[in-house]
Homo-oligomer: A and B are copies of this chain.
Amino acid sequence: MAQRLEGKQVAEAITQRVREKSEALRKRGVVPTLAIVRAGENPSDLSYERGAMKRAEKAGIEVKRFLFEETVSQETLLAEIDKINRDDGIHGALIFRPLPQQIDDGAVRAALLPRKDVDGITEGSLAGIFTGSGNGFAPCTARACMEILDHYKIQLRGKRVAVLGRSLVIGKPVSMMALAKNATVTICHSRTGDEAMRNICRESDILIAAAGQAGMVDEGYVREGQVILDVGINVDEEGRLCGDVDFERAGAAGYITPVPGGIGAVTTAVLMQQTAEAAEMARTAKAAAGLVE
């Protein structure tokens, strides 16, 4: 049976590092602060928000919530983002999406400053990941994958990585991040075809499953010793949370991140990490401009 790559320890290690960074910042008068923008009361948003609030407390990050009715106008939402952009006391923003129907998602994403985009949703952040310029931030789930590999000392250099899925939230950015670490990356998707996909996955050293299909990764996708990161968050026939990987049938693999308790457990820690980094960069920029010591 494959070993579980637990997310909890990774999240705790990150949180500890963020806490130290937050304390250092607070000593210099900076309280690293995250804005959470939510319209409506989607249960999965509420659940993520609760997790984020708890994680923020542990990490020494302040949270300011900006809550709106589901019927909020685009004008109101854009005005709030503009205020967040201008507010020196806010270093990063998480905007829950999908937004209500009446809101233009592209306009909202374009409105947020990349340097406050700690959830990696702006074109600026995505360009930074694509070009390696270091501008903006990665989508938290993509960086969570990198953090898990890093924590468990799994090298990417020269390794074959198969990524299932090509979304902007995970598939494409995680591919570019693995490439930047010198992995050889293959991006598979719905048009790849079942047989080709199985072959590619079996040939890979590391498989990142982000297809959003409950239990699709079975014995046909894996080989001995392989590392599998399961990014899927699905609900199975019995109403239970499950990933893209059938943990039992994919048991030949060496290591698998469980769902729940794997990647998902690390994302809020990454959100705090990126908020602290944004606060640090804002302070460095101010210092460079001679505004603080």
Q: A residues engaging B (CB < 8 A)?
A: 106, 123-124, 126-131, 133, 135, 157-158, 160, 166, 168, 172, 175-176, 179, 182, 184-189, 191-193, 196-197, 200
* Chain B positions within 8 Å of A197 at CB level: 184
The 8 Å CB contact of A179, one of B127, B179, B187, is: B187
A184 touches B184 (CB 8 A): no
Among candidates B127, B133, B187, residue contacting A130 with C-beta atoms closer than 8 Å: B127
Closest Cβ of chain B to A246, distance in Å, is 22
Question: Inside 8 A of A168's CB, which chain B residues have their CB?
Answer: 131
Cβ of A172: which chain B residues have Cβ within 8 Å of it? 130, 176
Report the separation of the CA atoms of residues A189 and B158 in the bound assembly, to the nearest whole angstrom.
Answer: 9
A164 to B282, CA, bound (A): 38
A200 proximity list for chain B (CB < 8 A) = 184
Q: Within 8 Å CB of A184, what residues of B?
A: 186-189, 191-192, 196-197, 200
Quick check: A158 and B192 within 8 Å, CB to CB?
yes
Q: Is the CB of A185 within 8 A of B182?
A: no
Kindly state the separation between the CA atoms of A135 and B123 in the bound complex, as whole angstroms.
Answer: 10
- Which residue in chain B gives the minimum CB-CB distance to A175? B187
* Pairwise interchain contact A160-B196, C-beta atoms closer than 8 A: yes
What is the CA–CA distance of A187 and B157 in the complex, to the nearest angstrom? 13
Q: Contact check: which of B130, B133, B158, B192 meets A191 at CB < 8 Å?
A: B158
The answer to whether residues A191 and B187 also contact, given A123-B135, A172-B130 and a CB cut-off of 8 A, is no
CB contacts (< 8 Å) of A130 on chain B: these are: 126-127, 129-130, 172, 176
> For residue A186, which residues in chain B have a CB less than 8 angstroms away from its CB?
184-187
A-B contact pairs, 24 of them (CB 8 A): A106-B133, A123-B127, A123-B128, A123-B131, A124-B127, A126-B127, A126-B131, A127-B127, A130-B172, A131-B168, A158-B191, A166-B179, A175-B187, A182-B189, A182-B191, A184-B187, A184-B189, A184-B192, A184-B196, A184-B200, A185-B186, A185-B187, A186-B186, A186-B187
